Amino acid sequence: MSFVSTLRQWDEAVAYVEKGDIASALRTFVAIEEKTSKINYNIGCLHLNNNDLDAAEKAFDSSIGKDEHLAVAFFQRGITFYKKEQFEESLLDFQQAFKELRGNQLIDYKPLGLRYKLNACEVLHNIGLLYAHLGKWERAQENLLTALNVRTEAKFSHIDQALESILKQKLFSLVVIKPSLLFKPNKNYVAELEKKDYLGKAKVLSSVVPADSFSGFAPLQPQVEDVPSTPKVPEVLRALEGEPHTVLYEFIPETTEELAVLPGNVVFVLQRGADNWASVIFNERRGLVPYNFLEPLDITVASKIEQVAPSSSNEQIPAPPRRPAPSKPADGNGPSSRCIVKVHFLFTIAICITPGQPYTAILQMISTKLKLPTSALTLSYVKPDSAEKVTVEESEMEVLWSCVKNNRLTLWCSASQDSTVTQKKMVALYSYEATTPEDLEFSEGDVITILSNVNEEWLEGECNGKIGIFPSSFVTDQ
């Protein structure tokens, strides 16, 4: 499915939600073949609105599988687990959502199409509620006190009420996201879906032909008397009557009678004058070119005028080939065929390997592909008839290879932080003031630990206990 088709269905489903037709919206979202992380998130929200918790959990799993740093997806899956009374799983998701905030007070998802701000204080509010459900009242109180310190606006008064409830060892309400808040496609992309008539409708203002209303690209020709018996020969055919020449040097005209040509052009010389100037035709234009800039080109007469010779009735039909037909290509399902393994990491890679290889061989190939040590990588897969991911070990290899279908296998890879690897550090040349919650603010002379390259102009780093992005031109090597 093309991006245009996905965008059109996405916009149509959002329109159904705005009309209150949740069933049609859900049906349209599910019909999209290539679902992105945002579309899976929207499907999960609609299932959550319908109280279909199992389907919502599965959709949020797919959303997180597409984007492992989508904090709002962890937040919504935590709400789903809470409604299923799976409090430990819900606590883990809320803690992961708080981790993805990376020390920022909020994440504004409006640039991504979701009109919602995920505040750190509200995530901590829900973490405190989960600790209360688990009977850990002191941990709940600690998280609510932290939420009071990081809240940015006075409208979060429910945190004060939650703290009062904790002191009385009473439960309080969970912070949820409105079900109508979904990721919407980019308005500029949606506007381009509609066909636009940039030329408009032509209108005849004046014509030599009476009652002429034709406004196409071939207007009616005026009627004339004494039409010649033989039609005028087109200029192109007249050019073929000249002598073909190849242009050797570039010629720049100085008058309107001269013609501009470049080396390699083929021109047809109609007439050569005594002053060494030639009258030529090139691209249906006539002009003068110095003859010493040209070289005759050998073209046979047969290339100018082609006549199809009538087939002779005495020609014999050639005999059919005597060679046997080639054999059918071998099917790729044999034991010697290779398997394509798709590995989902921070990005997706693919490797080709012979089925039945040991765990160490697969891990070494993935390590080489990702340029990471094998000790820092952990592989997992999904067992048949199960949505749960299982860590790959040598004892699991027989079950793993049984999951191969059509020579395809899907794995998930995660990397742990290797303390032996020295991270690159850079020094700030200038002070940088954060303009968005995702920016990293620092002062001139600060030492910044580089975490990753966002692109050629932006870096991600850590400074003074905070993580964010900043322009690469503001720092230099230490």
Bridge-partner residues for 286, per DSSP?
281
Instruction: Give the three-class secondary structure for 247.
Output: strand
Positions in the chain short of pLDDT 50: 219, 233, 236-237, 239, 301-313, 328-336, 419-421
Instruction: Give the integer Cα–Cα distance in Å for 2 and 189.
Output: 14
pLDDT at site 232: 56
pLDDT at site 40: 92
Q: N- to C-terminal Cα distance for the chain?
A: 48
Token digits for 418? Answer: 């290797």
Task: Give the rounded percent of residues in the chain with a pLDDT score beyond 90.
Answer: 24
pLDDT at site 65: 92
pLDDT digits (tens, 9 = 90+) for 19-77: 889 899 899 989 888 889 999 999 999 998 889 999 999 999 999 999 999 999 999 99
pLDDT at site 419: 44
pLDDT at site 443: 92
Measured CA to CA in angstroms, residue 57 lies from 33, 130, 278, 412, 419 at distances of 19, 18, 81, 18, 34
Provide DSSP, 306-343. ---PPPPTTPPPPPPP-SPPPPPPPPTTSTT--EEEEE
> Which ranges constitute the DSSP H helices of 327-460?
359-370, 397-401
pLDDT at site 388: 79
pLDDT at site 354: 86
Other Cβ atoms closer than 10 A to 310: 6
pLDDT digits (tens, 9 = 90+) for 390-436: 888 888 888 888 888 888 888 888 887 654 445 788 999 999 988 88
Instruction: Tell me how far the alpha carbon of residue 216 is from its chain's centroid.
Output: 40
